[in-house]
Structure 1
Amino acid sequence: MARRMACVLAPALALSLYASGNATSPAAAAAGQRPVVTWAASADRLGEAVSDRSYRLVVHTSGGGRGLRIRVSNAFGDRPLTLGAAYAGVQSNGALLVPGSNRKLAFSGSRSVTLAAGESRYSDPLPGSVKAQSNLVISLYAQIAGGQATGHGMALQTSYTASGDHAAEETDDAYTERIASWLYLDAVTVGAAPGTGAVATLGDSITDGWQSTTDKNRRWPDYLAGRLHAAPGGSIQGVANEGISGNKVLMDGAGQSAVGRLQRDVLSQAGVRTVLLFEGINDIKAHDGVTAAGLIAGYREIIGRAHAAGKCVVGATVLPYKGWSEWTPAEEAVRRDVNAFVRTGGEFDAVADFDRVLRSPYDSERMLPTFDGGDHLHPNDKGMQAMADSVDLSALACERGGTPPYS
């Protein structure tokens, strides 16, 4: 069984190199195919970077395809970062890989890559296929690192780290330390058939998955990916989870604002055809005077920029959160006005009415207890699934003129 599973990634050792490209416009993954994001996590600041450290990062794919590539990021670094090695393998259990599955990645033909402060870069494609809905392991060796580290803080996925260069190893002997973040990795892409695309879910802690079960891939974008995979003949297969816990539409804080990170986290992702915008609750409950008009202006900026890039935008209504310590009647009024715009303003290409799905029929200002993760703000696994189940999959496959959706 282990040997059969090892074939999820290519058995071929040679790499057929892509033309050199930048982080926002990857070359096609294979002849006749388009690159489509299959996994993503928004980059943010993660404290002090450490040299001579290996990271074994577990990621769960959405759609499948060929020609796997990773995007490594030093977006928030204040000095160069050298990754001395990068490998992609298949998870067996924990930090242990399926024997024979760990394949070396290259960057413009080189084993190592140095990223300038603020830079991101794609690897060359890895021959062979990647299964949808599978756990991959990306192993990175941070050979020279320092200053500000770049990564995604709240992974809700156990990954592993070790001192020294252990990226090529398939055993778990060196990886004795567990971590709950993803370091230096913000996207994985595969080559898919022309016409295949992805949706990027732009959100906060609810999209990031807080209160869902760790290591079980029960965030609502995960459930959405499962539905897309099961839909026969669907053209949207990739899901990029671009949620950051605590994130706001208008102001920096927990990560750059949604307006500020739109290009890097969403519009630059390969194959994204549609943006599903589900943010605003942190702006509303921050007690800093955000009005419905101000939040709607932020929505309009995101819609306009996404439309200019040829992407559709689905707007999601803001969930009820009465019972959370910061809830006030005045802010509830803002939430209602914002949701009225999302539903009836006519500026989104479609609407995902998460508020309607999760609110209590007895008190529309509260989440239904069966969906409540316990803090009256974040849904549990059942709530996450209910949200994903309510999304109209046909709305995610809409087309717009202008820039092609695979830019």
Structure 2
Amino acid sequence: MGTLTDRPVTTWAAAAERLGGGPRDLTVRNVVRTAVGGSGLRVRLTNAFGDRPVTFGHVYVGVPLAGAALEPGSNRMLTFGGSPEVTVAPGATALSDPLPVPVRPRHRLAVSLHVRGEAGTLTGRNRATAPAYPPPGFGPKRLPGDRPEPATAPAYRSVPGDHAADEGSGAFIEEVAVWHWMDALTVTAPAPVSAVAVLGDSIATGVGSETGHGWPDLLADSAVRRSPPLAVVNEGVSGGRVLAAGTGRPAETRLTAEVLTKPGIDTVILLAGLNDLGAGARADDLIAAYDRIAATARSAGVRVIGGTLTPYAGAEYHTEEGERARQEVNAYARHGGAFDALADFDAALRDPADPARLLPRYDCGDHLHPSTSGHQAMAAAVEVPPLRT
């Protein structure tokens, strides 16, 4: 039974992207990781970019064993308003009923969705990852009770039919780096446990890291050890922009439509804008958008940690004009007063001998995305101050 101080908290999240034609009449098994533990697990499904209603015949949650296989006896059916079936209209979301099982922190879960009939355009998250825990070479080794994790893909697709209840892997014949139709897992946790959402682009999704652990994953590993624990959830979109849409919505729209609609998120870390500069955006337009993002978050009781834009000289879309705009935007992030706190990623990654460039050991090779060491340096540059009570 919960207490008066219990609250719903988002323990995993993903931004919504338009990913083309979806699978038809089969089962997808998404493998994700919780941030904080709790009880009353709920799964939120999204059809944000759908061109038709999508019907899920069954939705199950289990614990991965190896590959697509689940630990025996772990797979549980979810319901939606008491029904095992749910239809999600285009542009809508659906939240499952609470599942009365304990949920461990930093723990893999497999959510299996049987898609009934034609699904149309898939809403999901591209560049999904399922790296082993804990991240190598960063922070404490394990939480109490952790076991070595076998390899698993971010998601699996089955042969035709309803295989959501299967605990074996035989029906799941395809590995894919996409999460399907899910954008949040929530649990009930004791206050003041809360969540931080990373609102970003491909750097947030971990591009450049050889281990698959991006800086939000590394930050999550340390944040869950705080007292009280803190969930870090990743709302990054590869190619994402602040001012324009890509496969996902613009960052400003994602804040209101996706981040602020998920429970327990008290802080947003904003690191986005390089793709806008690469497309020719002006510093004034980015700064104005930052102001609007901070004001919208603050009106919802959410604080914003502003991230300085990282060096990118040598990248394919770098220009001198874009570099001047980056410096102007970063000066505003540091001194403009829009944000509640600062994460100076630029200072953490730049080459002192050439500040427009990444330090060589922090460059994955494309002069834009950080290396594994670069992602570690970014995570170390973030300090999430305690919430004011």
Task: Verify: 1:227 aligned to 2:218, yes or no.
Answer: no
- In 1, are the aligned partners of 2:290 and 2:338 still within 8 Å (CA)? no
**Is residue 62–residue 222 contact of structure 1 (8 Å, CA) maintained in 2?**
no
Match of 1:161 among 152, 157, 174: 157
Sequence identity (%)? 46
* TM-score under structure 2 length normalisation: 0.91
Query: Which of 190, 193, 216 is matched with 1:196 structurally?
Result: 193
Are 1:274 and 1:313, in contact at CA under 8 Å, matched by a contact in 2?
yes
Offset of residue 283 of structure 1: 0.5
- Distance in 1 (alpha carbons) for counterparts of 2:76 and 2:183: 19
Q: 1:389 aligns with which of 361, 380, 384?
A: 380
Structure 1 unaligned blocks of 5 or more: 1-15, 17-28, 401-407
CA RMSD of aligned residues (A): 1.6
User: 1:279 aligned to 248, 272, 278, which one?
Assistant: 272
Deviation track 1:283-313 (CA, whole Å, cap 9, x = no partner) reads 11113xx211111001111111101111000
Contact 1:30 1:66 in 2 (8 A): no
Aligned partner of residue 77 in structure 1, secondary structure: coil
Q: Normalising to structure 1: TM-score of the pair? A: 0.87
Q: What residue is the counterpart of 1:218 in the other structure?
A: 213
What's the CA shift for 1:32?
A: 4.4
* d(CA) in 2 for partners of 1:49, 1:226: 32
1:359-391 Cα deviation digits (max 9, x unpaired) = 111110111111111111001222112111111
CA–CA distance in structure 2, aligned partners of residues 124 and 145 of structure 1: 25
Aligned counterpart in structure 1 of residue 121 of structure 2, from 148, 161, 166? 148
Partners of 1:48 and 1:133 in 2: how far apart? 32
* Aligned partner of 1:72 among 10, 27, 45: 45
SS at match of 1:75: coil
Q: Within 5 Å, which residues of 2 pair with 1:1-400?
A: 32-157=5-130, 158=153, 159-162=155-158, 163-213=160-210, 218-231=213-226, 233-234=227-228, 237-287=230-280, 290-394=281-385, 397-399=386-388
Aligned to 2:149: none
Moved >6 Å (runs of 4+): none
User: How far apart, in 2, do the equivalents of 1:343 and 1:297 lie?
Assistant: 15
Distance in 2 (alpha carbons) for counterparts of 1:253 and 1:64:
33
Deviation at residue 217 of structure 1 after TM alignment: 5.2
Amino acid aligned to 2:166: E
SS at match of 1:55: strand
For 2:350 and 2:228, locate their aligned partners in 1 and report how far apart those are by CA, in whole Å. 30
Q: Secondary structure at the match of 1:330?
A: helix
The Cα shift of 1:399 comes to 4.2
In the alignment, the residues of structure 2 paired with residue 30 and residue 113 of structure 1 have an alpha-carbon distance, to the nearest angstrom, of 30
SS at match of 2:357: coil
Match of 2:148 in 1: none
Instruction: Indicate the SS of the match to 2:172.
Output: coil
Structure-2 separation of matches of 1:56 and 1:329: 45
Q: In 2, Cα distance between the equivalents of 1:256 and 1:185?
A: 16
Q: Give the deviation of 1:161 after TM superposition.
A: 0.5
